[in-house]
């Protein structure tokens, strides 16, 4: 390496550290890497060599961006290399996929049309300063990108325009906000009712013994509803904390299902439902967490009894034949669930019929908890339902 390349490399690395200090790690790694590599990858300017250090003539470079291009070719994020007028020198396949192909030499605005992104590019081309902006692409699917432009200074100047897909992050942000709003709403309703009854008991019904008994009964129900909700929220949050750790204790599903059915027998009796068990005599082992699996089958069988009450029977079947996954299906003969609701049943607070769920003491979190537990167990919940013919919820391990 000549002294000039050494100096270029040092300046490149200094730029890398500067970019690292100013931006996120991914941008820094990519943009800084390119900046640092550019002096090595790009041709040197001709200079007069000192007499004692005769430099052989540099080989003619036909494609000065060749190495940079190949560095970005397999990169997941869309990348454009631009000249100082904003014309495209290179577009990687991810950029062609996300924004459509562009001919080299065409202006970047042929593909990037968001005014905020174009303003950022214009500003960077004029001042040489880096910039970033969040944009939304409407087609083909709505994606949210963080666009960033960085000037790569070497023997050839060019600009690196990178798009980082942050759609998933934004979707999770939105889910969190919705979740907090829903949870507050669910808690606010019983709280408002409690406040109303307290005011009535302190005011107009102060001396009414019958009203006292009636209202205190309703208040107790509301308090129970709030604690059910808080318990379910705590369950969800605990499950989220250990979502990535798969349970590894061998659990025998046959007795577990038997004891869940026994525990739910009084509820089923009250509802006039018979729980029929089809469980093999021999052990059926899966790797799991006994308490969590109990919670899964409690939720599914309880739902089948509550929502499928009019079918009068619920069949719980454990099947474990060789060469097939272990499955537990819970089948009811109730009214069934209209097709459009089925994919959303495991969303938090999603209910087909809010009134019916509330009257059956539902929190709207049961199936969300089931899904979380099954994800941790690397198992799936398959829901089949037909209006008028009941529903089958199958857990497949
Ligand atoms: P909830 O606490 O409301 O029961 P879940 O998450 O357990 O909440 O269930 C979500 C919704 O799915 C219920 O409100 C109900 O509308 C519907 N659902 C669940 N299981 C059944 C079933 N076996 N038959 C009909 N609808 C069901």
pLDDT tens-place string over residues 108-160: 999 999 999 999 999 999 999 999 999 998 766 789 999 999 998 766 689 99
Give the number of other Cβ atoms within 10 Å of residue 142's Cβ: 10
CATH architecture of 250-396: 2-Layer Sandwich (3.30)
As beta bridge partners, residue 134 has 146
Average the pLDDT over 12-21 and give the result. 40
- On average, the pLDDT of the chain sits at 85
> Is 53's pLDDT higher than 60?
no
pLDDT value of residue 242: 87
- Protein residue with least CA distance to atom 11, ligand 1: 351
Cα separation values, 329 from 26, 282, 332, 396, Å: 45, 18, 10, 8
Residue 351 CA: nearest ligand 1 atom is: 14
Average the pLDDT over 336-343 and give the result. 96
What dotted CATH number matches 169-241? 1.10.287.130
pLDDT value of residue 61: 53
pLDDT value of residue 264: 97
- At 321, the pLDDT band (50, 70, 90 cuts) reads confident
pLDDT tens for 192-250 read 999 999 999 999 999 999 999 999 999 999 999 999 999 999 999 999 888 888 898 99
CA of 109 to the centre of ligand 1 (A): 50
> Which of 341, 345, 374 gets mutated to test ligand 1 (max ligand atoms within 8 A of its CB)?
345
pLDDT tens for 83-95 read 999 999 999 999 9
- Protein residue with least CA distance to atom 14, ligand 1: 351
Q: By C-alpha distance, which of 157, 164, 95, 110 is closest to 134? A: 164
> Is 262's pLDDT higher than 70?
yes
Return the CATH superfamily for domain 77-165: PAS domain (3.30.450.20)
> Which of 352, 365, 381, 382 gets mutated to test ligand 1 (max ligand atoms within 8 A of its CB)?
352
Residue 304 CA: nearest ligand 1 atom is: 23
Looking at beta carbons, which pairs linking 33-37 to residues 24 or more positions away fall under 8 Å?
33/71, 34/68, 34/71, 34/150, 34/152, 34/160, 35/150, 35/152, 35/153, 35/154, 36/9, 36/12, 37/12, 37/67, 37/68, 37/71
- Protein residue with least CA distance to atom 16, ligand 1: 352
pLDDT value of residue 330: 98
Residues in contact with ligand 1 by the CB-under-6-Å rule are 299, 303-304, 307-308, 332, 334, 337, 345, 351-353, 357, 362-368, 391
Helical axes 33-41 vs 66-73, angle rounded to 10°: 140
Residue 350 CA: nearest ligand 1 atom is: 10
Q: Which of 22-31, 67-76, 250-259, 364-373 has the lowest mean pLDDT?
A: 22-31
> Which of 267, 298, 357 gets mutated to test ligand 1 (max ligand atoms within 8 A of its CB)?
357
DSSP readout, 17-64?
A: HHHHHHS-HHHIIIIIHHHHHHHHHSPPPP-PPPTTSPPPPPPPPS-T
pLDDT value of residue 45: 38
Residue 390 CA: nearest ligand 1 atom is: 24
Helical axes 209-241 vs 167-202, angle rounded to 10°: 160
pLDDT tens for 58-79 read 454 556 677 888 889 999 999 9
pLDDT value of residue 22: 41
pLDDT value of residue 66: 79
Average the pLDDT over 98-110 and give the result. 94
**Pairing mode of beta strands 313-319, 274-278:** parallel
């Amino acid at each position: 390496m000549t002294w000039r390349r050494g100096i270029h490399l040092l300046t490149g690395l200094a730029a890398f550290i500067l970019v690292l200090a100013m931006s996120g790690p991914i941008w820094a790694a990519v943009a800084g890497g390119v900046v640092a590599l550019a002096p090595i990858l790009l041709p040197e300017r001709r200079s007069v060599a000192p007499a004692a250090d005769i430099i052989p003539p540099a080989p003619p470079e036909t494609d000065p961006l060749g190495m940079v291009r190949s560095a970005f070719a397999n990169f997941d994020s869309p990348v454009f290399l631009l000249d100082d007028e904003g014309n495209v020198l290179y577009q990687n396949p991810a950029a062609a996929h996300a924004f459509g192909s562009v001919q080299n030499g065409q202006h970047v605005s042929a593909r990037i049309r968001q005014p905020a992104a174009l303003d950022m590019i214009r500003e960077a081309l004029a001042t040489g300063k880096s910039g970033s902006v969040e944009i939304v692409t409407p087609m083909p699917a709505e994606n949210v990108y963080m666009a960033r432009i960085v000037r790569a200074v070497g023997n050839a100047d060019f600009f690196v325009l990178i798009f980082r897909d942050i759609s998933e992050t934004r979707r999770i942000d939105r889910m969190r906000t919705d979740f907090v709003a829903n949870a507050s709403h669910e808690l606010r309703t019983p709280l408002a009712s409690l406040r109303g009854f307290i005011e009535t008991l302190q005011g107009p019904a102060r001396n009414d013994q019958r009203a006292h008994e009636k209202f205190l009964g309703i208040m107790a129900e509301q308090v129970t509803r709030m604690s059910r909700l808080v318990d379910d929220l705590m369950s969800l949050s605990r499950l989220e904390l250990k979502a990535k750790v798969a349970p590894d204790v061998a659990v025998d599903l046959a007795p577990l299902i038997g004891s869940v059915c026994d525990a739910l027998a009084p509820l089923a009796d009250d509802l006039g439902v018979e729980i029929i068990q089809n469980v093999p005599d021999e052990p059926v082992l899966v790797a799991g967490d006994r308490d969590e699996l109990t919670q899964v089958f409690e939720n599914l069988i309880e739902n089948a009894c509550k929502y499928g009450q009019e079918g009068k029977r619920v069949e719980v079947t454990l099947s474990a034949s060789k060469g097939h996954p272990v499955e537990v299906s819970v089948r009811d003969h109730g009214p069934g669930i209209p097709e459009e609701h089925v994919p959303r049943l495991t969303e938090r607070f999603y209910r087909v019929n809010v009134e019916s769920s509330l009257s059956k003491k539902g929190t709207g979190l049961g199936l969300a908890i089931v899904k979380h537990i099954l994800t941790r167990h690397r198992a799936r919940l398959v829901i089949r339902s037909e209006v008028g013919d009941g529903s089958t919820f199958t857990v497949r391990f």
